[in-house]
Homo-oligomer: A and B are copies of this chain.
């Protein structure tokens, strides 16, 4: 099921999610003023040709809350599925201030110049509140966003972490069908986003900076042990020695961790996103990992486990949402929660009263 490579389609197109409203030469241009009048087949045809405008619109449908949009979105995803799966998917997280955006900008620009087709996505369940803190400020990715081979898409902003992550997972399928061979997924270090990203990427990279304490605020414990590799950024100027010392510290710490499921031994590299040094050494770490896990079969194993995970995760989210999005159950949950917090009732009795009330309704 080789998907049709169509590199010409990338040329001359702007590369971010606002692109729908830009004037451009495009066979589907006539549809642009009448959004959502395309059929699933038309979206798929455009996506398979590598039409980034239509890809962007299809992702908008994926992110839409409208049931009518979701019907088309699911059809598009289903038809794109046979053409997906051929990319390398890398999760990138790090403490605020570690320089995630400039790292992705440096790495992405380099990869694009090497001829890779790069999609940059994000999972940030807080993006609604913070108005898209992550990838939202595209001025920070000036250089990358003008690359013809790049597609940058901020985090879907609506809904729960689970919902946001599921939309990102679906967007990967569309991007891969559109010919993107490298997918970077940025997360924000809150813990849940990383767990979600971990369930959809091949390699999980933790971006660190030197020092401890304050620099580590803002990232949740547990993420370090999730990482397949660590990049210590800001190894530049008078910070070089400290960064190199940090690399040794992380190397020693990583050696104390239990082995990974893949058998891969995570290690640390230094780099400077600003000076563009060490960036490709970090990427070589990813490539070594991919080669290693292709060799021992873990790559495919993980991919199938992930597909299974997302099926059950989606079912589970639906089952829980049916309960918690029911206004009566939501109100009763809050009430019971308060009684539990006041120690008036046990967690278990509270739960069984909620369950009885729910069963009675159905």
Contact = CB atoms under 8 A, between A and B. Distances in A.
Interface of A: 74, 77-78, 81-82, 85, 95, 166, 169-170, 173, 212-213, 216-226, 249-250, 252-253, 255-260, 304, 307-316, 318-320, 322-323, 333, 336-337, 340-341, 343, 345-352, 354-355, 362
Contacts of A212: 255-256
16 contacts: A74-B349, A77-B346, A77-B349, A78-B345, A78-B349, A81-B343, A212-B255, A217-B259, A252-B252, A304-B341, A307-B340, A308-B347, A315-B354, A318-B355, A319-B319, A319-B320
Given A308-B337, A348-B310, A315 B355 contact: yes
A64 to B, nearest CB: 15
A259 B216 contact: yes
Nearest to A257: B221
Contacts of A349: 74, 77-78
Contacts of A322: 319
Nearest to A73: B348
B216 A258 contact: yes
Given A74-B352, A307-B341, A314-B347, 20 more contacts: A81-B345, A95-B258, A216-B257, A221-B257, A222-B225, A223-B225, A223-B258, A224-B225, A224-B256, A224-B257, A249-B256, A252-B252, A308-B341, A309-B347, A310-B347, A311-B340, A311-B351, A311-B354, A315-B323, A319-B323
Contacts of A313: 351
Contacts of A310: 347-348, 351
Contacts of A249: 252, 256
Contacts of A319: 319-320, 322-323
